[in-house]
Amino acid sequence: MRAIRLRPGAVTFWILLPLLPLLLWFILFLRPATPPVQLSELLGLARGQAEGIVVLTGGAERIDTGLLLLYNATAPRLLVSGVFDDVSDGSFVALHEIPRSAFACCITLGRSARDTRGNAAEADLWTRFHDIERVLLVTSDFHMHRALMEFSRRMPDVVFIPVSVPSVYLEPREWLSRPQAGVRSFVESVKYLLTFVGLSRFGPAQWGFEAEVDLS
Protein backbone atom coordinates (compact mmCIF):
# COMPACT_ATOMS: atom_id res chain seq x y z
CA MET A 1 0.00 0.00 0.00
CA ARG A 2 1.44 3.32 -1.10
CA ALA A 3 1.88 5.99 1.56
CA ILE A 4 0.21 9.33 0.78
CA ARG A 5 2.78 12.10 0.76
CA LEU A 6 1.62 15.71 1.02
CA ARG A 7 3.67 18.70 0.04
CA PRO A 8 4.47 21.18 2.89
CA GLY A 9 2.06 23.72 1.43
CA ALA A 10 -0.77 21.19 1.44
CA VAL A 11 -0.02 20.23 5.04
CA THR A 12 -0.19 23.90 6.07
CA PHE A 13 -3.48 24.31 4.20
CA TRP A 14 -5.15 21.37 5.97
CA ILE A 15 -3.85 22.54 9.36
CA LEU A 16 -5.19 26.08 8.87
CA LEU A 17 -8.48 25.10 7.21
CA PRO A 18 -10.35 24.48 10.51
CA LEU A 19 -9.27 27.96 11.69
CA LEU A 20 -10.82 29.77 8.71
CA PRO A 21 -14.32 30.06 10.23
CA LEU A 22 -12.82 31.61 13.38
CA LEU A 23 -10.78 34.01 11.23
CA LEU A 24 -13.87 35.04 9.27
CA TRP A 25 -15.76 35.54 12.54
CA PHE A 26 -12.92 37.76 13.81
CA ILE A 27 -13.01 39.87 10.63
CA LEU A 28 -16.77 40.34 10.99
CA PHE A 29 -16.30 41.18 14.67
CA LEU A 30 -14.01 44.10 13.73
CA ARG A 31 -16.98 45.85 12.13
CA PRO A 32 -18.30 48.28 14.77
CA ALA A 33 -21.75 47.58 16.18
CA THR A 34 -22.66 51.20 15.48
CA PRO A 35 -21.18 53.73 13.03
CA PRO A 36 -18.88 56.37 14.60
CA VAL A 37 -20.79 59.48 15.70
CA GLN A 38 -19.42 62.71 17.14
CA LEU A 39 -20.48 63.15 20.77
CA SER A 40 -22.11 66.53 20.09
CA GLU A 41 -24.19 64.93 17.34
CA LEU A 42 -24.98 61.98 19.60
CA LEU A 43 -26.34 64.24 22.33
CA GLY A 44 -28.76 65.77 19.84
CA LEU A 45 -29.81 62.41 18.43
CA ALA A 46 -30.24 60.76 21.84
CA ARG A 47 -32.18 63.49 23.62
CA GLY A 48 -35.67 62.27 24.43
CA GLN A 49 -35.14 58.79 22.93
CA ALA A 50 -34.63 56.89 26.19
CA GLU A 51 -35.89 56.63 29.76
CA GLY A 52 -32.63 55.41 31.24
CA ILE A 53 -28.88 55.10 30.69
CA VAL A 54 -26.84 51.99 31.55
CA VAL A 55 -23.04 52.24 31.69
CA LEU A 56 -20.91 49.10 31.91
CA THR A 57 -17.73 49.71 33.90
CA GLY A 58 -14.37 49.01 32.31
CA GLY A 59 -12.93 52.45 31.65
CA ALA A 60 -13.30 56.04 32.83
CA GLU A 61 -14.40 57.11 29.35
CA ARG A 62 -17.51 54.93 29.60
CA ILE A 63 -18.59 56.54 32.88
CA ASP A 64 -17.76 60.04 31.64
CA THR A 65 -19.89 59.43 28.54
CA GLY A 66 -22.81 58.19 30.64
CA LEU A 67 -22.61 61.20 32.94
CA LEU A 68 -22.48 63.56 29.97
CA LEU A 69 -25.61 61.94 28.57
CA LEU A 70 -27.33 62.32 31.94
CA TYR A 71 -26.29 65.95 32.37
CA ASN A 72 -27.57 66.78 28.89
CA ALA A 73 -31.02 65.40 29.72
CA THR A 74 -30.91 62.53 27.23
CA ALA A 75 -32.53 60.37 29.95
CA PRO A 76 -33.51 61.01 33.59
CA ARG A 77 -31.79 58.02 35.24
CA LEU A 78 -28.38 56.34 35.10
CA LEU A 79 -27.24 52.88 36.22
CA VAL A 80 -23.49 52.23 36.50
CA SER A 81 -23.20 48.45 36.45
CA GLY A 82 -20.21 46.50 37.72
CA VAL A 83 -18.84 48.90 40.35
CA PHE A 84 -16.31 47.25 42.70
CA ASP A 85 -17.47 46.55 46.24
CA ASP A 86 -14.66 48.64 47.75
CA VAL A 87 -15.73 51.79 45.85
CA SER A 88 -17.99 53.73 48.19
CA ASP A 89 -20.68 56.12 47.01
CA GLY A 90 -18.63 59.03 48.35
CA SER A 91 -15.43 58.04 46.57
CA PHE A 92 -17.32 57.48 43.30
CA VAL A 93 -18.92 60.92 43.57
CA ALA A 94 -15.58 62.57 44.37
CA LEU A 95 -13.67 60.73 41.65
CA HIS A 96 -16.10 61.74 38.91
CA GLU A 97 -16.96 65.17 40.42
CA ILE A 98 -20.69 64.41 40.49
CA PRO A 99 -23.01 66.93 42.14
CA ARG A 100 -24.52 65.36 45.26
CA SER A 101 -28.03 66.33 44.15
CA ALA A 102 -27.58 64.55 40.79
CA PHE A 103 -26.25 61.42 42.48
CA ALA A 104 -29.08 61.31 45.02
CA CYS A 105 -31.88 61.67 42.50
CA CYS A 106 -30.67 60.02 39.37
CA ILE A 107 -27.71 57.61 39.71
CA THR A 108 -27.66 53.98 40.86
CA LEU A 109 -24.45 52.00 41.42
CA GLY A 110 -24.72 48.26 40.72
CA ARG A 111 -22.09 46.20 42.55
CA SER A 112 -23.10 42.59 41.89
CA ALA A 113 -22.03 42.15 38.26
CA ARG A 114 -18.73 40.43 37.54
CA ASP A 115 -19.17 40.04 33.78
CA THR A 116 -21.43 41.14 30.93
CA ARG A 117 -24.09 38.59 31.74
CA GLY A 118 -24.14 39.93 35.29
CA ASN A 119 -24.43 43.47 33.93
CA ALA A 120 -27.56 42.39 32.09
CA ALA A 121 -29.00 40.87 35.28
CA GLU A 122 -28.42 44.11 37.20
CA ALA A 123 -29.94 46.19 34.42
CA ASP A 124 -32.94 43.87 34.25
CA LEU A 125 -33.80 44.51 37.91
CA TRP A 126 -33.21 48.25 37.50
CA THR A 127 -35.35 48.66 34.37
CA ARG A 128 -38.22 46.67 35.88
CA PHE A 129 -38.09 48.65 39.15
CA HIS A 130 -38.26 51.99 37.31
CA ASP A 131 -40.55 50.74 34.51
CA ILE A 132 -37.99 51.64 31.84
CA GLU A 133 -38.51 50.41 28.28
CA ARG A 134 -35.88 52.35 26.29
CA VAL A 135 -32.21 52.40 27.37
CA LEU A 136 -29.05 54.09 26.15
CA LEU A 137 -26.41 51.35 26.54
CA VAL A 138 -22.88 52.72 27.02
CA THR A 139 -19.78 50.56 26.66
CA SER A 140 -16.60 50.39 24.57
CA ASP A 141 -16.93 49.78 20.84
CA PHE A 142 -15.17 46.38 20.97
CA HIS A 143 -17.54 45.22 23.73
CA MET A 144 -20.81 46.49 22.24
CA HIS A 145 -21.61 43.41 20.10
CA ARG A 146 -21.57 41.07 23.09
CA ALA A 147 -23.26 43.54 25.44
CA LEU A 148 -26.18 44.07 23.07
CA MET A 149 -26.61 40.33 22.65
CA GLU A 150 -26.59 39.60 26.40
CA PHE A 151 -28.91 42.50 27.22
CA SER A 152 -31.38 41.78 24.42
CA ARG A 153 -31.61 38.13 25.47
CA ARG A 154 -32.19 39.03 29.10
CA MET A 155 -34.66 41.85 28.32
CA PRO A 156 -36.36 41.16 24.97
CA ASP A 157 -39.05 43.78 25.64
CA VAL A 158 -36.57 46.62 26.27
CA VAL A 159 -35.21 48.72 23.39
CA PHE A 160 -31.44 49.29 23.64
CA ILE A 161 -29.84 52.24 21.86
CA PRO A 162 -26.07 51.59 21.64
CA VAL A 163 -23.62 54.35 22.56
CA SER A 164 -20.14 53.04 21.67
CA VAL A 165 -17.08 54.60 23.29
CA PRO A 166 -14.15 54.54 20.82
CA SER A 167 -11.07 52.44 21.62
CA VAL A 168 -7.89 51.24 19.89
CA TYR A 169 -8.99 47.60 19.98
CA LEU A 170 -10.91 47.69 16.69
CA GLU A 171 -8.10 49.52 14.85
CA PRO A 172 -5.77 46.93 13.21
CA ARG A 173 -3.25 49.65 12.33
CA GLU A 174 -2.72 50.15 16.07
CA TRP A 175 -1.81 46.52 16.68
CA LEU A 176 1.80 46.84 15.52
CA SER A 177 2.58 49.41 18.20
CA ARG A 178 0.17 47.88 20.74
CA PRO A 179 0.12 44.09 20.28
CA GLN A 180 -1.99 43.69 23.42
CA ALA A 181 -4.81 45.55 21.63
CA GLY A 182 -4.91 42.92 18.89
CA VAL A 183 -4.82 40.10 21.45
CA ARG A 184 -7.67 41.63 23.43
CA SER A 185 -9.73 42.10 20.27
CA PHE A 186 -9.29 38.43 19.37
CA VAL A 187 -10.17 37.30 22.90
CA GLU A 188 -13.29 39.47 22.85
CA SER A 189 -14.31 38.01 19.48
CA VAL A 190 -14.07 34.51 21.01
CA LYS A 191 -16.20 35.63 23.98
CA TYR A 192 -18.73 37.03 21.52
CA LEU A 193 -18.78 33.71 19.66
CA LEU A 194 -19.38 31.80 22.91
CA THR A 195 -22.21 34.20 23.73
CA PHE A 196 -23.63 33.78 20.24
CA VAL A 197 -23.89 30.00 20.68
CA GLY A 198 -25.28 30.37 24.21
CA LEU A 199 -22.27 29.25 26.24
CA SER A 200 -21.68 32.42 28.27
CA ARG A 201 -24.13 31.17 30.91
CA PHE A 202 -21.64 28.46 31.89
CA GLY A 203 -18.85 30.86 32.86
CA PRO A 204 -17.39 30.61 36.41
CA ALA A 205 -18.75 34.06 37.30
CA GLN A 206 -22.27 32.69 36.92
CA TRP A 207 -21.97 29.83 39.41
CA GLY A 208 -24.38 30.77 42.18
CA PHE A 209 -24.77 34.34 40.87
CA GLU A 210 -27.93 36.37 41.27
CA ALA A 211 -27.87 40.13 40.88
CA GLU A 212 -28.76 42.28 43.85
CA VAL A 213 -29.05 46.01 43.22
CA ASP A 214 -29.80 48.68 45.81
CA LEU A 215 -32.57 50.48 43.92
CA SER A 216 -33.34 53.04 46.58
Where do the domains of the chain lie? Answer: 33-164+177-206
Fold of 33-164+177-206: Rossmann fold (3.40.50)
Average pLDDT estimate for 199-207: 55
User: What is the reported pTM?
Assistant: 0.77
Count of alpha carbons within 13 Å of 93, Cβ hemisphere only? 12
Structure-model confidence comparison of residues 73 and 99, the more confident one = 99
- pLDDT over 90 for what percent of the chain? 45
